[in-house]
Amino acid sequence: MPGEVRQTGRVLPMLATKGDHVPAAEGWAHEVKWDGMRVLVDVRRSGVRVWSRNENDVTVSFPELQGLASLGLPDVLLDGEVVALGEGVPSFGALADRMHVRDAARAQRLAERNPVTLIVFDLLAADGEELLDRPLSQRRARLEDLGLDGAAWQVPPTYADGAVLLDAAEQQGLEGIVSKRLGSRYHPGRRSRDWLKFPIRPTASYVVGGFRWETGSDHRLGAVLVGEPGSDGLRFRGRVGSGIAGKAGVVLAGLLGPMRTDASPFSAELPRLDRQDTVWVEPRVVVDVQHLALTSDGRLRQPAYRGVRTDLDPDDLLGA
């Protein structure tokens, strides 16, 4: 897209492909995968514009980033992630009340109470020059030369040993890592194997309290509703649809079918969107669910079904 970055300051971000093993060869750089909101930030002397990955203008939501315009930078287009560090570890839940804010006064109040940090990991244009066709090693060097180091913006380090970084990220409770080929060009809007992501997703056990059929089917599972046993009963943790297609769904449907009941087993009334078309079951089946994190309202983020735990009963999960 020659000229497009210079003319509009907008471009779709390049995306990473999920990898199956961390590259050990030379020619790769490894960095932390941040649990935040992907943004492109157009910094000009006249001001700062912030775009989401689906090209929505979210400038109003993050007023603290306007300070980039006063740093004396050349006009630049930055690729990065807005994160809420909270207690030092990025939390998507902590970022939730900062996203989609359209009222400038409210956004300013939220910025004072719950500030965000822009984590910058790529430079797409500088001083009128597009850098998309430059290799990552050159883009990264020019990015580091900008000196972006402050409370509201940072350029995080990269590492040569991806396996060690992945282990450290897991120990520190981070989302994962991204491995990038140093010679890679920037391909707007494309998911490339030049960038590989390795998310760290914990697996935990939950009790099934209901299920839904696939749309238009009365025998294929579409999702299960799971909860966590507690002193006040079964606490709802969300719907899980990923991972239950095919044979796994057939086996699970066979287990749940005889356990149908008329009443919800969850301790609190569920939102209408979750209750709709749900078949309630007795809370006896324990399943493993892999997920990214718990949201601020206690729901599993990006959950995926991993299997039935025939070795566990719901009582085994109390206090686990």
Report the distance separating Cα 287 and Cα 307, nearest Å: 6
- Provide the terminal-to-terminal Cα distance of the chain, rounded to the nearest Å: 53
Please report how many Cα atoms fall inside a 13 Å half-sphere around the Cα of residue 148, on the Cβ side: 30
Distance CA 171, CA 146 (A): 31
**In this structure, are residues 169 and 177 in contact, taking their beta carbons and an 8 Å threshold?**
yes
What contacts 308, CB < 8 A, 6 or more positions away?
251, 252, 255, 285, 286, 287, 288
- 160: helix, coil or strand? coil
Residue type at 184? Answer: S
The amino acid sitting at 7 is Q
CA-to-CA distance for 303 and 241, rounded, in angstroms? 8
Name the catalytic one among 18, 33, 197, 247. 33
Dist. CA 137–CA 110, nearest whole Å: 36
Tokens of 163: 């396996």
Q: How far is it, in rounded angstroms, from Cα 241 to Cα 212?
A: 9
18 is catalytic: no
Which has the closest alpha carbon to 185: 94, 258, 124?
Answer: 124
Among residues 154, 144, 143, 160, the alpha carbon closest in space to that of 34 is found at: 154
| Residues assigned a catalytic role | 33
